[in-house]
Amino acid sequence: MNPPAPPVSAAGLMGEISFDAAGLVPVIAQQHDTGEILMMAWMNRDAVVETLETGRVCYWSRSRAALWRKGETSGQVQRLVELRLDCDGDTMLALVDQTGVACHTGRRSCFYRAARDGDWQVIAAVEKSPDELYGER
């Protein structure tokens, strides 16, 4: 999985991706060398093309209804190492190199709650405060 994937043309790849009724496909982001699952988010067609062509991961923000260049505000960018597609073509796996933390709470991974003893227990510490990530700079 190294060296980093060079920018590639997306044209030949788009036809195999099954976007849902909203024009979106879920994308799992995994740290390429450690295997950590960092987050899951969504891409539309433009986000897939931008991600492949720039080598920097771009999602579609459903809440803002806009392209979401990961790290644009927080500095916590994801460099694309390799994009993978599942058997049905309706889910993607992005192997990435994550700068800093992936989660807006300041944790490395968004999946920081584990079902233990009948409750969701927080199993990861905040590494950067949200103020540091999103505050005035």
Q: Shortest gap between Cβ of 56 and a second copy (angstroms)?
A: 15
Burial (CB < 10 A; 0-12, 13-18, 19+), residue 27, is buried
Q: Shortest gap between Cβ of 118 and a second copy (angstroms)?
A: 5
Q: Shortest gap between Cβ of 94 and a second copy (angstroms)?
A: 10
Q: Are strands 25-31 and 92-98 parallel, antiparallel or unpaired?
A: parallel
Contact set with a second copy (CB under 8 A): 5, 8-9, 11-13, 16, 26, 28, 30, 34-37, 39-40, 52, 82-88, 91-93, 103-105, 107, 110-120, 123
**Which CB atom, from 66 or from 123, has the smaller least distance to a second copy?**
123
Cβ atoms within 10 A of the Cβ of 18, count? 12
Q: How far is the C-alpha of 95 from the C-alpha of 80, rounded, in Å?
A: 6
**Which CB atom, from 2 or from 34, has the smaller least distance to a second copy?**
34
Task: Determine phi and psi for 95, rounding to 5 degrees.
Answer: -85, 125
**Which CB atom, from 11 or from 135, has the smaller least distance to a second copy?**
11
Strand partners, 97: 79
